[in-house]
Structure 1
Amino acid sequence: MTLKKLTALCLGAGLAMSAPVALAGDKMTGDMTHQTNMDHKAMGHGGMGHAMHAHGPIGVMGRHLLPKGKVMLGYRFGHMSMDGLRLGTSDLTADQAATTQPNRFAGMPGMPPTLRVIPDSMTTEMHMISAMYGLSDNVTVMAMVPYIEKDMTAITYQGPVGTTVLGTSKRHSEGLGDIRIGATMGLLTKGPHRLNATLGLSLPTGSITETGQMFTPMGMRPTRRLGYAMQLGSGTYDLRPALTYQASKGAISYGAQLRGTIRLGSNDEGYSLGDEIAATAWVSYRAAPWVSLSGRAEAARLGRIDGIDVNIGGASPGADPLSYGGDRVTLFAGADFSPQQGLLKGHKFGVELGVPVYQDLNGPMLKTDWMLGLAWRTSF
């Protein structure tokens, strides 16, 4: 199945649901009062409470519009676990990669003909603080500051050929990621239907010159620049546009989003990460006034790296810009909690777990195993 078809399925799953809702007419406007966590009439902002507090998955940004003068503060934690190699849609063992996959740098002094330093597993964790402000009832501005930690384990094979394992090594990087700023604007509100447009800008605040100790096939441990996946930022200004549709019927809300990442030129090290396009669709059910459950599907395509950092090299797939990128389809399940009383009243908590069901990687590269998101937010 091509990504084009998968993307259409993801968008269609959300958009196709708008037909029966539209047939329900004005009755849906009244039903929307069940989709808020606060009585917005008491706040003096009328129907804007729908945009501010409509329930949905925490993994979809750009759903919220705040009333003028309102502030929302939040914290998000993200974890992604990667394990095992994949080339295209087929898994690849470390031995296979070390004996059959060509080394991009073969022919250069000391470089073997095939890959000899093979990534085994990797985890990425992100802590992100965010702030949103209602510039008007129809425009919300935002800023997000991430702190990123990455850890990778790699297997080093002895010498230029063969399957004798010399040992393993660990690599680590952490620090400030790329800060994001942006604005979400309401394009259309008709009954329970809403359409928002988001335009974000990612600033090159994350490091792209992280270094670590390597373990070479000759048993040496020099300090070199880490591979592209271990860097903390893109090094470029990146546009992040998105178009988000959402609606609701009674206790059920649903929607779809198309988003992208567009790299604006090359960074100071001579390359740019691949552009990205993703489509997602979701449905959410409010099981009780204080909890909602959600299911979501996302199809994403990430392009290859354009250019090369001359300081990144070695007999590892992580040093080859052409090994990056590919297609992925992920299914998510989540929950959102809104305590109705006590000290936690007015605070919201969310969780979302994702598992890829399809990966077609340009590789050989590590495949994604699972991902987890946690979120807290409050508004005043």
Structure 2
Amino acid sequence: MLKNTFFSAACVSAGLVSFTSHADVGSNPARAIIHAPIGVMGDHLHAKGEFMFSYRLMNMQMSGNIQGSDSITDDAIATTVANPYANPPMSPPTVRVVPQDMSTQMHMLGFMYAPSDNLTLMAMINYLDKNMTLTTYQGAMGTNTLGDFDTTSSGLADSKLALLYRLYDAGNHHLHGNFAWIIPTGSEQESAEVLTPMNSRMTMRLPYGMQLSSGSHQGELGITYNGFSEHFSWGAQGLYTTALEKNEQHYKLGDKLQLSAWTAYEISTQLSTSARLKYSHTTDISGADAMIQAPVTTANPDNYGGELLDLAIGINSVISGQHRVAFEYQIPLNQNVNGVQMEMDYMWTLGYQVAF
């Protein structure tokens, strides 16, 4: 169902190709409409010799939990969801620590340079700040709670080196390939103090979702299309990311497929609005970190991955032809996760770019 919804939207966007114009809109960097939504990375090439610097601030909020696509209560998790690391009496048979909410902020610095009109090089450096609030249930059974506690992790995340190569260019229709190497420059060994079901506090390695890095080198392949008419633009992008090996903790994150389709409308030369559909499919974690064995859903590698369909609304502005300020707000339309996971509420991206 999710895939059918996405491809229907992609066809609508592709249908906009029937618009024509007398000028090559996509060659005019002073127009806001030439840019894809700010949440799309690697969406365009640059002219030979051109540099671009970008900064993005991304904020994602999650709260509550779902099992598959259905909501599940805290009490149900604590009394019915199996703890894969059960070892009574030290470790209870069911999950006894339940995530309540999570916020993730990413600061992303990007650099692009075009040695030729057909090739653009890109580098991205990321900094993450994560915070999760959890509730601990008392003992090995029942619905009495001991209280809440917070865990945090922050620091350098994985970095990316990429190249964009022009595959087709005909007036207002542009197609390029995306090729990237993701480098594990962050840490996958973050720890924090937790409240245990036995009402003690101890320092433990944080679950996978709270780590800053995949710990693995990853490859990313993709393709991006952009089309333009007099007052509209549209596009689509597909990216596939896979870990090239297990990390030093003996696991690797799941493969990820991301598909986006968008369209934008020009309010003025310097201002445009956009709408985007994004579909993603991620497999669960392969392997496990022997140091992550806690009675919490996020410690189970099977509780990662799934299918998501999101809708994003954005605005782009271009100032003096060189400076771009843009914003995009994204909400989930459908979430179908593996196992039990936190539910995404929303995500927003604020970005600035300057080309010279």
Q: TM-score, normalised by structure 1?
A: 0.91
Give the structure 2 partner of residue 282 of structure 1. Answer: 262
Select which of 336, 353, 364 maps to 2:329. 353
1:36 aligns with 2:19: no
Look up the match of 2:43: 63
Are 2:343 and 1:363 equivalent residues in the alignment?
Answer: no
Aligned position for 1:47:
none
Shift of 1:123: 0.5
With over 3 angstroms needed to count, the CA separation of the structure-2 counterparts of 1:285 and 1:180, relative to structure 1, is: same
User: Separation in 1 of the partners of 2:271 and 2:236?
Assistant: 21
Separation in 2, partners of 1:305, 1:346: 42
Q: Is 1:181 paired with 2:161?
A: yes
Let me know the Cα RMSD of the aligned residues. 1.6
1:14 is matched with 13
Q: Counterpart of 1:16 in 2: which secondary structure?
A: helix
Report the Cα distance in structure 1 between the residues aligned to 2:54 and 2:143, rounded to whole angstroms: 49
Quick one: distance in 2 between partners of 1:109 and 1:99?
A: 16
2:71 counterpart SS class? strand
SS at the partner of 1:370? strand
In structure 2, the partner of 1:46 is none
Aligned pairs for 1:309-320 (under 5 A) are 309-320=289-300
Whole-angstrom CA distance in 1 between matches of 2:241 and 2:9: 18
The one-character-per-residue Cα deviations of 1:141-172 (angstroms, maximum 9, x if unpaired) are 01000010000000000000011010001000
Aligned equivalents of 2:27, 2:274: Cα separation in 1: 14
1:136 aligns with 2:116: yes
After superposition, the C-alpha distances for 1:241-284 in whole angstroms (9 at most, x for unaligned) are 11111101111000111111111010000000011001110001
Give the drift of 1:108. 5.7
The code of the aligned residue for 1:366 comes to M
Q: Deviations over 1:306-325 (max 9, x none)?
A: 00000001110111000111
Q: Structure 1 or 2: larger strand share? A: 2
User: How far apart, CA to CA, are the structure 2 residues paired with 1:247 and 1:146?
Assistant: 30
**In structure 2, distance between residues paired with 1:282 and 1:296:** 4
State the match for 2:96 in structure 1.
116
Q: Distance in 2 between matches of 1:371 and 1:81?
A: 6
Structure 2: unaligned runs, 5 residues or longer: none
Indicate conservation of the 8 Å contact 1:62/1:242, yes or no: no
In the alignment, structure 1 residue 148 sits paired with structure 2 residue 128: yes
Name the structure 2 match of 1:244. 224
Alignment gaps of 5+ in structure 1: 39-49
| Residue equivalent to 2:4 | 5
Aligned to 2:252: 272
1:98 partner SS: helix
Tell me the alpha carbon deviations over residues 357-380 of structure 1, each in whole angstroms, 9 at most, x when there is no partner.
Answer: 100011311011000001001011
Partners of 1:269 and 1:149 in 2: CA distance = 22
Which residue among 204, 228, 247 is the counterpart of 2:184?
204
Name the CA distance, whole Å, in 2 between partners of 1:13 and 1:313: 46
> 1:29-73: per-residue Cα shift (whole Å, max 9, x none)?
x333487343xxxxxxxxxxx9x9822211112221111111001
Deviation of the 1:113 alpha carbon: 1.0
**Aligned partner of 1:62: which letter?**
G
Distance 1:321 1:223 in 2: 20
Which deviates more, 101-110 or 71-80? 101-110
* Aligned residue identity for 1:313: Q
Which residue matches 2:286? 306
Q: In the alignment, residue 352 of structure 2 is paired with which amino acid?
A: W
Q: Distance in 2 between matches of 1:127 and 1:314?
A: 30
State the secondary structure of the residue aligned to 1:375.
strand
Which amino acid in 1 is paired with 2:235? Answer: G
Question: Residues 108 and 70 of structure 1: is their aligned pair in 2 closer, same or farther, counting only changes over 3 Å?
Answer: farther
Say which SS state the counterpart of residue 62 (structure 1) adopts: coil
Q: 1:200 to 1:10 in 2, by over 3 A?
A: farther
Could you state the TM-score of these two structures normalised by the residue count of structure 2? 0.96
State the AA in 2 paired with 1:32: D
Cα gap change, 1:305 to 1:243, in 2 (>3 Å): same
Distance 1:161 1:358, change over 3 A: same
